[in-house]
Amino acid sequence: MKSSGEGNANGKIILMGEHSVVYGKPAIAFPFQPTHVTAEITDHAYEKLRSGYFVGPLAKAPKSLENIKTLIHQLRHDFSTPPVQITISSTIPAERGMGSSAAVAVAITRAFFDWLNRPLSSKLLLNYVNYAEKISHGNPSGIDAAATAGDEPILFQKGATFETFPINISAFLIVADTGVKGKTRQTVKAVAKRFEQDAQTTGRLMNELGDLTLKAKNAILNNQAPYLGELMNAAQKNLAALQVSDQTLDNLITVANQNGALGAKLTGGGKGGCMIALASDYKTAKKITTALTNQGAKATWIQELGVYQYA
């Protein structure tokens, strides 16, 4: 055992396929490097958490940190370790559809194994992270765990091994935080209820979202940014029909489109959280972020797509 262990993870962005991914449809996600989390594990007289949200005995941590508590207990139980102190520092905004809960679980699990000085396979990592994600989200598809644990874009399908592929398209992605906490747990539940009440319409919306995702993958592989933008707009229509969007997201999406975006949609669970937009060039991307900030976006990021080039 080492005196301390360290682990890292990125935030993530779902480009296409949120919600339908819960029902077995494909989704595209990628690690979002501008936001990341680091965890450090050291041994301590009692279980202690130090984070931006809470500092003190883990036993007294608020309910919103139950995922961390459960994960630590499981890890300690599986490896019969003494108590630990966990220090978390994160630039991933919490509950904004950027996968902060999964990323924290990835970073903690990596830090724990680093502290134990044991190798950690990706399968075992994802098992622990999905275990923690069940506490956070109820019925997670696993996409957040897979995207925050890796460093490549993925085409993810629940229950299947995911494939990585290069996002190599000449375009810029804008991400904007509404400043309102996303409500993934509630929206996933609400969609499940819709399925019970109207399986036909909900099923059709899900199938269409799955098709749009596969078309988006081809648009990316063929460097068709304007077409990808159209597909994003179409996905947003379906997500709105599933009632997982809201007024704040709709406003920012409209503003992005009015300022030259090729397309825009919510990302992640919805009802708050973040939206994304696509721009053909950096100048337009800047114009869009300025307009979004003027309309109340709490934070914006621009990421050049096409940076993921692997030999």
Binding residues vs ligand PMV (CB under 6 A): 14, 18-19, 21-22, 97-99, 137, 140-141, 143-144, 182, 184, 188, 268-269, 273
User: What is the maximum span of the chain, computed from C-alpha positions, in angstroms?
Assistant: 57
Q: Would you say the C-alpha torsion 167, 262, 267, 219 has a positive or negative sign?
A: negative
Cβ burial, residue 44 (10 Å; 0-12/13-18/19+): middle
Please give the structure tokens belonging to residue 260. 């030259």
Which of 114, 144, 177, 246 is an active site residue? 144
Note the Cα 226 to chain centre separation in Å.
24
- How many other CB atoms are found less than 10 A from the CB of residue 81? 16
The torsion of the CA quartet 27, 67, 269, 284, rounded to 10 degrees, works out to -80
Q: Which is nearer to ligand PMV, 41 or 242 (CB)?
A: 242
Q: Which is nearer to ligand PMV, 84 or 188 (CB)?
A: 188
CA separation (Å) from 171 to 24, 60, 230, 272?
Answer: 28, 46, 13, 25
> Collapsing DSSP states into helix, strand and coil, what is residue 282?
helix
Cβ burial, residue 311 (10 Å; 0-12/13-18/19+): exposed
* Residue 10: closest CA among 120, 197, 150, 110: 150
The Cα 79–Cα 168 span in angstroms is 42
Is-catalytic flag, 144? yes
Residues with a catalytic annotation lie at 144
